[in-house]
Amino acid sequence: MSFEDKTPESSKVETFESLTRDQQLLLYTIDYLTKWMVSDEHFVRNEGDKVWIKELPLWAIMYYQITHGSYETYDYAPIPIQFFGRSSFTVNLSYEGVDDVEDLRELDVLEKIRLSTSQHGFVTAYRITEIGDKYLLKIPKDVIDEVEKLFFCESCQKRMHFYMNMGDNPSVLMDCPDCDESDVHLDFLESEDVSYVSKPYFLKISDMLKR
Amino acid sequence: MSDDNDLAGNIKDELTEVIHIKDPKIFVIEWLPFDSNQLRELNKKMDIEKGAHKTLLTGLIDKQPNVPIFQSKGAHTKVFVEDYELDSFVNLQAIIDLPEEEGIAQVEEMAIFVSRDGFIIYSLELAEIENLNTYMSIDKITRVVADLCQDSSVVIDSLLTEFQRNFIEIIFGDPIHRPKTICYVGDDIKIRHEDIKDYYDGEEFEIELSQLLGEGHEPFQVGNNLFFKGSRGTCAIVDKFDKETEYQIVFWGIQHAMNNFVDNFMSRIWELYDQTKQVKKIVDEAVAGNTDALNTVTEEITVITSTISLVGQIKEFLKDSSKDLLEIYGKNEKCNLDGFYEVENSLKSSQRRILESEKIISGLLTELDGLRNYVATLSELQMRKMSKVMTKNTKSMNEVLQANTRTSEAIDMIELILAGSIILEIFAFAVGEITTEQTFFGSILGGEGFGKDQWITLALLVISVFAWITIVILLRRSKKKMEIEALQDFFVTLSVNRKIDTAKMEEYISVRTVQIKNVENDKDNTIISYVWDGKDDPNLLGKEIEKVSLSYNATNCLLLSIEIETSVLDIPQDELLGYLMEDLEAKEIFIK
């Protein structure tokens, strides 16, 4: 099997203006997350090193933004994913967002990296490229405000930080470094229920499944 | 259930729904280690042999076997047996009654097919989602499936053996959240494209299909019938869902579920490989002389070896099942979907992966065996080293003891000489130096006779010998007293194990000067221990007892032990214990 770059050449020369508002918002969100979402006391930034945002927190933030009406066209659905190659959890994932991440990659605005985990799964992470940095300069103020408004503490207006607990009871939350009571629990891992009625379907082929 | 108010949801966002499928059927498929014995056990749990038609299922365990009644919270799953062969398969109908959030109404009924080959198929038809009862949106269906995946784990968990639950825990960690394969079948699709490739628009349609099936899905069209398969499942839109189509779709689901299990199984093996590598590092530390590392590593090796043994057992289940599934798939006729679903190739691929895992498992076991032997040799060397040091120490101790004995004998001699010197000094001080021309015996032998001087000399000699003996005795006594004072107090312990009245015991202790009280709680017992001052004990006044310790089990009212501490060595043990025991008897603390 051979792999080839199926990206049409024409799309690679698209300009910032060709990005949808949701794509601009996503791009600025990724930039914001790599710069501000982890406090320096929890993360040592070495000069010259590239900072990447891992896929799972990006999805969690995307979900948080969708539930706050930030995106115009994104919705989400409960999708089973495996954490670190073990338990399968349902996360509220936006495939429109996932698709836009791919579109931004095709435009060379984002780049992607794959990391191994100690449990033999893989983790994907993203960062903005130099082309992306140029695009960032053109992001309109209303988009920047839309992103930033969700990441500042309502009480003291300090930047909130982001935490993931990937233990037995995984959870994702943001908290304010100064106010103890302003934690925001992102219910990214709690699937929503719908009411439904189902009836059993008995296989027509049960005889064919026997030895 | 058709009341509009009944069928609500709690979705926080407005959904963009483009794909709606008609009268969806859902197949949730997983593979778990099963064989005839496990299936027979499951069937027994269902009370099949008694011909019972309906059983309430629960994962609860009877923790009070001696109590004739049993309480439960009320929410259970009802299971009906539709069809079975004791050690081949069982076909069930389940009505799931699990608590849901307020405002959510779910009537969840499904069929469950469990095969001895390990595949479990939970199948159902969706009759209604939030008041929609013909065309249902994919966005809503995925929410139903999220619920089904979790509920199906809960239902089957109550039917599995502890043996199987162990396997699940090893492979997935969490018994409820494990990956399953989903197959969707609809009679029609609301927005129909003539060419299936038109659903691959790079936008809404394609995104919704990815949401349903996972990324990298591919299409196949046979006339009006549309088929998609992806990394999480497959979806088919068919005019007529006949046996051949069902067979292809369900069998694709079975092989996919098995491959899912093999993926997780292999991840677990690689984890064990990493853990073994870690063990090697600890062994290196042990070689460098870290004895703590030596203790840790033995335990680690045991745990990893035991897990690998279980993984090896799972491999055997997988091996048998993949062989049997290939056989079953091969004997039935295929339809034109065979080329698209490639079930046989996938099953062969699973089989190859399982066989290849054998090499890694046996390699790991050999490596761990080698490490265990190496650690045993290291432990032996360590023991020898310790034994040498012990022998050396014992030798030194013996030398010290011998030196002590010699010193003690020398001290005894010095004692005698010292006593003699003291008495001579006393005499010299009392009577001055006696000087005669002839010695005592010389004057007698010289014929001077036994006169006054001789009498005086004899008397002085007798007195001095007597005084000498007295001083020796006094010196011995004072030495012994010093030795006793240098020794620690003397302890007498009695294991009692008699029933007591704990209230009376607490009352008894309340008038003592308690120095330490200690309460230890474990799963079944509460042990209370006291230490009080013996000199302040009204019952022990003048008895030379320093401290009294006592402990009793408050749960079963049993006095466990007493301990008396004294500095006087010559009180008999029975007497010491008797002071307290007689008092406890007298106060009627013991229950007869």
Nearest to A194 among B130, B266, B267 (CB): B130
Provide the pLDDT for residue A64.
92
Provide the pLDDT for residue A44.
67
Nearest to B173 among A87, A96, A201 (CB): A87
> Is there a domain that residue A207 lies in?
no
Q: Is the pLDDT of residue A184 over 70?
A: yes
**For residue B247, what are its two tokens?**
């067979």
Question: With pLDDT > 90 as the criterion, what percentage of chain B qualifies?
Answer: 41
- Among B580, B546, B588, smallest CA distance to B562 is for B580
Q: Is the pLDDT of residue B33 over 60?
A: yes
Among B486, B518, B534, the domain-final residue is B486
Provide the pLDDT for residue B75.
61
> Is there a domain that residue A121 lies in?
yes
CA A130, distance to chain mean position in Å, is 21
**Residue B150 neighbours by CB under 8 Å, 6+ apart:** A90, B176, B177
Provide the pLDDT for residue B64.
72
| Number of structural domains in chain A | 1
Query: Does residue B500 sit in the same domain as residue B482?
Result: no
Closest CA–CA distance from residue B19 to any residue of chain A (Å): 14
d(CA B200, CA B221): 13
d(CA B132, CA B452): 144
> Is there a domain that residue B7 lies in?
no
Contact A193/B9, CB-based, under 8 Å? yes
> Is there a domain that residue B592 lies in?
no
Least confident of B221-230, B261-270, B380-389, B481-490: B481-490
**Residue B148 neighbours by CB under 8 Å, 6+ apart:** B26, B28, B108, B110, B122, B124
DSSP letter assigned to residue B76: -
Least confident of A56-65, A121-130, B97-106, B523-532: B97-106
pLDDT-based confidence at B345, cuts 50/70/90?
Answer: very high
Contact A197/B107, CB-based, under 8 Å? yes
DSSP letter assigned to residue A158: P
Contact B208/A76, CB-based, under 8 Å? no
Nearest to B124 among A75, A82, A201 (CB): A201
Amino acid type, B50:
K
> Is there a domain that residue A182 lies in?
no
Minimal Cα distance from B182: which residue of A? A80
Contact A78/B327, CB-based, under 8 Å? no
Is B9 in the A-facing interface, judged by CB distances under 8 Å?
Answer: yes
Averaged pLDDT for residues B28-36: 94
| Residue scoring higher pLDDT (B501 or B423) | B501
Contact B208/A95, CB-based, under 8 Å? yes
Contact B177/A79, CB-based, under 8 Å? no
- Among B112, B84, B82, B110, smallest CA distance to B97 is for B110
Rg of chain B over all Cα atoms, to the nearest angstrom:
45
d(CA B371, CA A123): 33
CB A109 within 8 A of CB A129: yes
> Is there a domain that residue B209 lies in?
yes
Is B41 in the A-facing interface, judged by CB distances under 8 Å?
Answer: no
| Residue scoring higher pLDDT (A202 or A6) | A202
Closest CA–CA distance from residue A15 to any residue of chain B (Å): 19
Among B486, B515, B547, the domain-final residue is B486
Query: Does residue B474 sit in the same domain as residue B538?
Result: no
**Residue A97 neighbours by CB under 8 Å, 6+ apart:** A26, A59, A62, A66, A71, A74
The CATH code of the domain that includes B512 is 3.30.160
Provide the pLDDT for residue A115.
83
Question: pLDDT, tens digit, for every residue of B228-284?
Answer: 999 999 999 999 999 999 999 999 999 999 999 999 999 899 989 989 998 988 888
Which chain A positions have a beta carbon within 8 Å of B177's beta carbon?
87-90
Query: Does residue B290 sit in the same domain as residue B371?
Result: yes
> Is there a domain that residue A160 lies in?
no
> Is there a domain that residue B402 lies in?
no
Question: pLDDT, tens digit, for every residue of B522-556?
Answer: 777 889 999 999 888 888 888 888 899 999 999 88
> Is there a domain that residue B199 lies in?
yes
**Domain boundaries, position B352:** 260-397
Query: Does residue B267 sit in the same domain as residue B192?
Result: no
Provide the pLDDT for residue A179.
80
Here the ipTM equals 0.83
- Among A93, A139, A142, A84, smallest CA distance to A116 is for A84
Query: Does residue B42 sit in the same domain as residue B96?
Result: yes
Query: Does residue B92 sit in the same domain as residue B214?
Result: yes
Interface of A with B in 92-131 (CB under 8 A): 93, 95-96, 98-99, 118-121
Provide the pLDDT for residue B570.
78
Query: Does residue B44 sit in the same domain as residue B157?
Result: yes
Provide the pLDDT for residue B532.
93
Least confident of A126-135, A166-175, B294-303, B569-578: A166-175
Query: Does residue B107 sit in the same domain as residue B251?
Result: yes
d(CA B526, CA B537): 26
Is A67 in the B-facing interface, judged by CB distances under 8 Å?
Answer: yes
pLDDT-based confidence at B116, cuts 50/70/90?
Answer: very high
Give the containing element (helix H, strand E) for B415: helix B343-431
> Is there a domain that residue B441 lies in?
yes
Least confident of A148-157, A176-185, B371-380, B578-587: A176-185
Provide the pLDDT for residue A68.
92
Question: pLDDT, tens digit, for every residue of A70-121?
Answer: 999 999 999 988 766 566 788 999 999 999 999 999 999 999 998 877 666 7
pLDDT-based confidence at B3, cuts 50/70/90?
Answer: very low
Q: Which residues of B513-547 are buried (b: 16+ CB within 10 A; e: fewer)?
A: eeeeeeeeeeeeeebbbbbbebeebebbeebebbb
Provide the pLDDT for residue A41.
64
| Number of structural domains in chain B | 4
Contact A118/B126, CB-based, under 8 Å? no
**Domain boundaries, position A122:** 9-151
Query: Does residue B326 sit in the same domain as residue B376?
Result: yes
Contact B178/A87, CB-based, under 8 Å? yes
Contact B10/A192, CB-based, under 8 Å? yes
Among B397, B419, B446, the domain-final residue is B397
pLDDT-based confidence at B86, cuts 50/70/90?
Answer: confident
Q: Is the pLDDT of residue B114 over 60?
A: yes
Provide the pLDDT for residue B462.
87
Nearest to A78 among B16, B115, B143 (CB): B143
**Residue A60 neighbours by CB under 8 Å, 6+ apart:** A91, A164, A172, A186, A188
Neighbour-count burial of A97, counting CB atoms closer than 10 A to its CB (0-12 exposed, 13-18 middle, 19+ buried): buried
**For residue B203, what are its two tokens?**
């936008």
Query: Does residue B53 sit in the same domain as residue B179?
Result: yes
Minimal Cα distance from A84: which residue of B? B267
Is A42 in the B-facing interface, judged by CB distances under 8 Å?
Answer: no
Least confident of A153-167, A190-204, B102-116, B300-314: A153-167
> Is there a domain that residue B13 lies in?
no
The CATH code of the domain that includes A98 is 1.10.10
Query: Does residue B383 sit in the same domain as residue B463?
Result: no
Contact A210/B89, CB-based, under 8 Å? yes
Query: Does residue B482 sit in the same domain as residue B508?
Result: no
Provide the pLDDT for residue B423.
78
Which chain B positions have a beta carbon within 8 Å of A80's beta carbon?
146, 149, 179-180, 232
Averaged pLDDT for residues B28-47: 88
- Among A61, A93, A197, smallest CA distance to B104 is for A197
The CATH code of the domain that includes B371 is 1.20.58
Question: pLDDT, tens digit, for every residue of B383-417?
Answer: 888 888 888 888 888 889 888 888 888 887 887 78
Minimal Cα distance from A86: which residue of B? B172
Q: Is the pLDDT of residue B55 over 90?
A: no
Question: pLDDT, tens digit, for every residue of B186-198?
Answer: 999 999 999 999 9
> Is there a domain that residue A85 lies in?
yes
Measured from the Cβ of residue B51, the count of other Cβ atoms closer than 10 Å reads 7
